[in-house]
Amino acid sequence: MNLELRIMEKTRHKKISAATIFSLASCFLIFASPVHAQTAPQQSLSVSPIINDLHLTPGKKTSFTLSIENISQSPVGIHAEIDGMDALGDTPIASQKLSAMLNWTNLSSTDLLLGQKEKKTILVTINTPKHIGQSGYYETIFLTPILHQEQVAWSPIILSRVGVLVLGTVGNLNYNDLAKKVSIATITPSEKIINSFPKTISFTTANSYFSHFDAKPFITITPLFANSQTILLSDKHVLPGSARTWQYQPTVPTNHLFYQIHLAVSIGDGKQITADTWFVVLPYKPTLLLILIAVLLYIGLAKRSRLGKFTKILVKG
């Protein structure tokens, strides 16, 4: 009888194990289905021009045409809207002010429907006020595609919107004045003595001039008693009243004690702004830890020696 009960119990455990394995396998197949294959944004629009650098005249209209083409295989609806924030800048949105050009700009259409491979245009008109001094403005026209298609299970459709940058300048750019209004605001590492060589060196260029410019930075790192290394970093557009930050992962030898950094940012017309800094790599934290351990061991041994002498005196009387 006991043998029959044991056989029945083993059979029941095998059935439970098989059911468990089947359930886990089913869950794996569900979650392992190619969800991520469709989560990459699909580009459905081709827009030209993507950057518009305009010279505005007080009291006059300035217009340009946006050419929009549907490069997808399905009809696409498009919604256009204007944003007066510097979405690409390193200044927090909450600290920014809306660009005044936002109120001067009109779009001939804010909603379009494009068939497969169809191309249409939007006329952008900027009505610059009469009484306005020399200054610089910017805004972004966002074009958001809307695809009319039923949602497929485990295959969400994600379309990426396109941003068109509009730059408007009242007055003429003076590079001598620009050089006085552009600065390298921060450089990291900011500490002069650091525990280990930094994985990333970063710096920020700030623009307080009324006009925008294209910044092309060079960074030179010179270790003590070693060859220097100069790298040209990617250029960035710095808008008026805005800032841009670069991050660079250096590849110089990291076994030296002293390093010097020289930054040169080209702002155009042969003008540059520069900044220099230095730092010492000294692994002081491990050194301090070793000193602390040595002091504690010395105190412990000293107390142990005194305790041994005291015990001998008590025993011998």
Q: Between 290 and 177, where is the model more confident?
A: 177
Instruction: Tell me what pLDDT residue 23 has.
Output: 41
| β-bridge mates for residue 46, sequence order | 69
Mean pLDDT of the 141-148 span: 81
Contact between 233 and 217 under an 8 Å Cβ cutoff? The reply is yes
3-state helix, strand, coil in the chain (%, to 5): 25, 40, 35
Phi, psi of 221 (to 5 degrees): -115, 125
Contact between 186 and 205 under an 8 Å Cβ cutoff? The reply is no
Q: Dihedral through CA 117, CA 140, CA 179, CA 189, nearest 10?
A: -100
Q: What mean pLDDT is reported for the chain? A: 79
Give the global pTM: 0.66
Q: Between 292 and 70, where is the model more confident?
A: 70
- Which of 37-41, 47-51, 104-108, 217-221 has the lowest average pLDDT? 37-41
For the cut 50, the answer to whether the pLDDT of residue 14 exceeds it is no
Instruction: Tell me what pLDDT residue 161 has.
Output: 80
How many other β-carbons are positioned within 10 Å of the β-carbon of residue 4? Answer: 8
The residue behind tokens 């790192």 is 221
User: CA-CA distance, 140 to 155, in Å (whole number)?
Assistant: 31
User: CA-CA distance, 147 to 73, in Å (whole number)?
Assistant: 10
Contact between 143 and 164 under an 8 Å Cβ cutoff? The reply is yes
Q: What band does 107 get if pLDDT is binned at 50, 70 and 90?
A: very high
pLDDT, one tens digit per residue, over 245-288 is 999 999 888 888 899 999 999 999 999 999 999 999 987 666 66
